Structure 1
Amino acid sequence: MGWRVGAVLSVVLSLALLVSLCGSRSGTRGATADASLGWGMTHTQYSAADGDPSTVDTAVRALSAQSLPQNQHIMGWGADNPEPSPGHYDFASLDERIDLIRRTGGTPVITLCCAPDWMKGGSPGRTDWSRRALETAPSPDHYDDFAALAAKVAERYPDVRHYIVWNELKGFFDDSRKRWDHVGYTDLYNRVHRALKKVDEKILVGGPYLDMDSFAPAHRRYASSLSGPWGSVDRRVLEAFEYWNVHKVGADFVVVDGSSSSRGGRVLPDEFRATDKFTAVGRWLRQRTSLPLWWAEYYVEPGAEDGRLGHWTARHRLAVEAAAMMAIAAGGAETAFFWNPQRRDGRCAACLWPSAEPGRDAPETPPIMDLIRRFGVTFPPGTAHRPARVTGADASAVRTLASDTTVLVVNTLDRTVEVTVDGRSVTLDGYQVRWLDNRT
């Protein structure tokens, strides 16, 4: 995926945002924010910022149709270096992203990643946008500088109430010990937490944004007890969480991310049952903390993290996405963010809105956006849910999640099945995702 802002925003978008940009510094904080936000998305490189007015219009319509939590990083993934040299700030691109969230009625979330080059051994005034450089953590002697930058961001956007500290412990792997430097990360986290709470104690702060990486079942060296037919989570990741959970100065929510596939891109036993990993991870975390659980990213198709998708049909992909969301909810999470909403070239099989293509009208919003919207409305934070009772010869092939009013049903087979769901006969086409009224 891209890392740096690649093009200037369209004049149309800039003019539309002008009024709100003027208020970037002067917003006010409202009542105490809720630590559970529901289902939303993360803005990445080409997220309503591609310079094409048709694409901007498509994105704004898609985001404005329903209020969603929207996450944005402070550097990379569509935002320029916010502090190119000590004490010299450039928030123009971040201003534009935050104001896009505001104008579309979203709940803004900021991920405090990544760090300016001078905080990690680079030269002041220069920015290396290579992936390796971007994902380097600040050096320990600059932890306070990064915390100060976090406070500056919080002061600039007083209406932003939710902050995630760093991203996937990037740059914190200790090669000599072959494990995560959870001590270093927790030190950084604690300094940032204190700095944000000093700006406003009502700001909500979460971490550690760990990638719950897993291995195939045959792996033994770093296997853990958090396992299933889908594989086992790397025990070093669990050790990092345990350390942070004990030594953090405080947190308002817990953040993780991950893929249903194991390392090497294998989905085991199959693409649907592999999503059970999300439930297992959630339940493991719920046993260790009562804090609200967030998934900052979640992936179901091998290669999706880097924008490389396979040969699944749109219907197939939507079914697996729905199964993953159900599994995440079953694990106790009430907040989750879809990654990669848009591509530059318009060809994106799993985006929330497509980029406009020359000579063509703006396309309709893809079904995945509709799924996220409806899932968020049907299963908002605090909603009691359960699996529905499914019977019939193909009952094991059907996944469900039911609230008091609605049942979400997914057929995991590429053929028609007939089952009974909570006492009613239901026919499902291959890979069909269907919503049933549960009030009759």
Structure 2
Amino acid sequence: MRRHGWDSGARRWRLLALTGVGVVLIALVLTMCTALPDGDGRSGDAGTTTTDGGKVHGTPVEPSAAPEPELGWGFTHTQYSADEGAGAALRRAEDTLSATPLPQIQHIMGWGAENPEPSPGRYRFDELDSRVDLIRRTGGTPVITLCCAPDWMKGGRAGAGNTDWSRRSLETAPSPEHYEDFAKLAGTVARRYPDVRHFIVWNEFKGFFDDGRKRWNHEGYTELYNLVYAELKKVDKENLVGGPYLVMDSYEPRDTTYASALEGPWGSIDQRALDAYTYWNENKKGADFVVVDGSSYTRDDELLPDEFRATDKLTAVSEWIRDRSGGLPVWWAEYYVEPGDDDDDRDGWSEPHRVAVHASGLMAIARGGASTAFYWNPQNRGAKCAGCLWRSTRLEDGGGALPMMKLLSRFAQEFPPGTRYDGSVRVAATDVSHVRVLADDETVLVVNTLDRPVEAKVDGKSFGMRGHEVRWLAR
């Protein structure tokens, strides 16, 4: 879906290439002297990996209570995060994250993490350790997404130096004969980080599309899910596990190719996604929460009827899942309200515009009854970073909170899990078409959807709003 970047760990390899051919040759000679190939493609693994992957890492945070399946509003660590960079910027970023601790997702491979098991039984968790340590230091609730799979589980070569970091490879699912191996890896991860109690199985059904039948291979995913679920519960029965992390794609209303009854002015959800969810829901061994993913725009990047009203799709999907989940909490592992360009960059909107539409998206998710959602943080290494949560820690003055972090933190504070929303907030008739609101007993969030100033009257209070302003009112 042109949205995912990942840190392959290749930055180290790019650096090595820049040091010159001579250094590379010396390194190769030393490698040949210290580690001969073992006939399994695992040359050199002994010096870069370990066999005790399940050994507890660092100092786990002692839980104060049993884990809850509803976490609230948080974000996902992606290719670059706040675990590398300038010292002062790193401290500033940790202060930013600690000010309002949020749930934080980290994948086990890609998006900032190395290949966790380059060869069968040999592990490499340095970068995953670094991300878990960051979450621990900042007081966040850690969530691990169990994706993606080592090469040897999907037809590639084993070995720490043989990882194929191409998108095509990373988005390949484990082969069925390796489903149990992937489940064992999940168990190893759970034992290594015993304070991580929330696990998402796989990401967006990657590699599970059946080209021949033109539909999702929901049978294969569910088989993998059930094996992982059982393994995680064997490690600790209080581990909380969820799936299926399906992308709820939609088509514009006139496109009836894969149309479904789940529709609105924003379009129609792809029936194949609903079929995949239904199969998983009926055949799963168990689940503690349900995970979906999606954007407010269509597969053709259309925002219908406009960028604000398109977020009503998030409400509709949340309600549809809740009606079928048997009471399980609904999570959005990712949600998007701004289409990216061909390079997946989203810098066409001003920051006030972006924050206003994202606020509308969060409101729509909450209104649909979902209790947990994660913002996909597009962090990069430069001074310009549209939608980033903090200034890059590669900059000397980096680490400070940016507008999207301020929105996310405030939303998490004001509307935590269990919030009872008040649907009776009064909005002046002249403002209904361009003002969006969400409220509980104490707070009202107001969004001006227009790019010009307006005079608004909400909850009995009159006030002026700037174009695309997000306003918090105390009740």
**TM score, norm. by length of structure 2:** 0.86
Q: Secondary structure at the match of 1:257?
A: strand
Q: Indicate which of 410, 421, 436 corresponds to 2:458.
A: 421
Give, as a single letter, the amino acid of the residue that structure 2 aligns with 1:5. G
Deviation at 1:29, TM superposition (A): 5.9
Q: Indicate which of 190, 194, 197 corresponds to 2:230.
A: 194
Q: Indicate which of 141, 150, 168 corresponds to 1:107.
A: 141
Q: Hey, what's the Cα distance between the residues in 2 that align with 1:304 and 1:151?
A: 38
Q: Hey, what's the Cα distance between the residues in 2 that align with 1:30 and 1:305?
A: 45
Q: Indicate which of 232, 240, 253 corresponds to 1:204.
A: 240
Q: Hey, what's the Cα distance between the residues in 1 that align with 2:230 and 2:271?
A: 29
Q: Hey, what's the Cα distance between the residues in 2 that align with 1:87 and 1:362?
A: 39
Identity percentage over the alignment? 61
Alpha-carbon deviations, 1:247-295, whole Å to 9, x = none?
0000000001111110111111100000000000001111111100100
CA 1:280–1:183: 2 relative to 1, 3 Å:
same
Which residue in the other structure is 1:327 paired with?
Answer: 364
Q: Secondary structure at the match of 1:196?
A: helix
Which residue in the other structure is 1:45 paired with?
Answer: 79
Deviation at 1:49, TM superposition (A): 3.5
Q: Indicate which of 197, 202, 205 corresponds to 1:161.
A: 197
Q: Indicate which of 287, 291, 294 corresponds to 1:251.
A: 287
Matches within 5 A, 1:190-339: 190-289=226-325, 290-303=327-340, 307-339=344-376
CA 1:67–1:357: 2 relative to 1, 3 Å:
closer
Give, as a single letter, the amino acid of the residue that structure 2 aligns with 1:355. S
Q: Indicate which of 427, 436, 444 corresponds to 1:399.
A: 436
Deviation at 1:353, TM superposition (A): 0.7
Which residue in the other structure is 1:18 paired with?
Answer: none
Tell me how many residue pairs correspond in the alignment: 425
Give, as a single letter, the amino acid of the residue that structure 2 aligns with 1:268. L
Q: Hey, what's the Cα distance between the residues in 2 that align with 1:436 and 1:251?
A: 37
Q: Hey, what's the Cα distance between the residues in 2 that align with 1:123 and 1:415?
A: 57
Structure 2 residues not aligned, in runs of 5+: 13-54
Q: Hey, what's the Cα distance between the residues in 1 that align with 2:177 and 2:62?
A: 33
Which residue in the other structure is 1:2 paired with?
Answer: 6
CA RMSD of aligned residues (A): 1.8
Deviation at 1:423, TM superposition (A): 1.9
Q: Indicate which of 120, 125, 133 corresponds to 1:91.
A: 125
Alpha-carbon deviations, 1:368-423, whole Å to 9, x = none?
11111111111100010134221142321100000100000000001122232122
CA 1:95–1:247: 2 relative to 1, 3 Å:
same
The answer to whether the 8 Å contact 1:7/1:51 transfers is: no
Give, as a single letter, the amino acid of the residue that structure 2 aligns with 1:404. D
Deviation at 1:72, TM superposition (A): 0.3
Alpha-carbon deviations, 1:32-61, whole Å to 9, x = none?
200000111101110113433344234212
Q: Hey, what's the Cα distance between the residues in 2 that align with 1:378 and 1:348?
A: 26
Alpha-carbon deviations, 1:288-334, whole Å to 9, x = none?
11100100011110018964114211111110010000000001111
Which structure is larger by alpha-carbon Rg, 1 or 2? 2
CA 1:304–1:50: 2 relative to 1, 3 Å:
farther
Q: Hey, what's the Cα distance between the residues in 2 that align with 1:93 and 1:427?
A: 48
Deviation at 1:363, TM superposition (A): 6.5
Give, as a single letter, the amino acid of the residue that structure 1 aligns with 2:102. L
CA 1:78–1:238: 2 relative to 1, 3 Å:
same
Deviation at 1:344, TM superposition (A): 1.8
CA 1:274–1:158: 2 relative to 1, 3 Å:
same
The answer to whether the 8 Å contact 1:416/1:430 transfers is: yes
Which residue in the other structure is 1:131 paired with?
Answer: 167
Confirm whether residue 365 of structure 1 aligns to residue 369 of structure 2: no
Q: Hey, what's the Cα distance between the residues in 1 that align with 2:101 and 2:382?
A: 26
Q: Hey, what's the Cα distance between the residues in 2 that align with 1:305 and 1:81?
A: 27
Which residue in the other structure is 2:18 paired with?
Answer: none
Q: Secondary structure at the match of 1:333?
A: coil
Confirm whether residue 62 of structure 1 aligns to residue 64 of structure 2: no
Q: Hey, what's the Cα distance between the residues in 2 that align with 1:343 and 1:305?
A: 17
Deviation at 1:123, TM superposition (A): 1.0
Alpha-carbon deviations, 1:217-268, whole Å to 9, x = none?
1111101111111111110000000000000000000001111110111111
Deviation at 1:428, TM superposition (A): 1.5
The answer to whether the 8 Å contact 1:41/1:341 transfers is: no
Q: Hey, what's the Cα distance between the residues in 2 that align with 1:179 and 1:194?
A: 26
CA 1:26–1:64: 2 relative to 1, 3 Å:
closer
Which residue in the other structure is 1:17 paired with?
Answer: none
Deviation at 1:109, TM superposition (A): 0.4
Alpha-carbon deviations, 1:79-129, whole Å to 9, x = none?
000000000011111111101100111100000000000000011112100
Give, as a single letter, the amino acid of the residue that structure 1 aligns with 2:140. G
The answer to whether the 8 Å contact 2:93/2:393 transfers is: no
Give, as a single letter, the amino acid of the residue that structure 2 aligns with 1:413. L
The answer to whether the 8 Å contact 1:27/1:157 transfers is: no
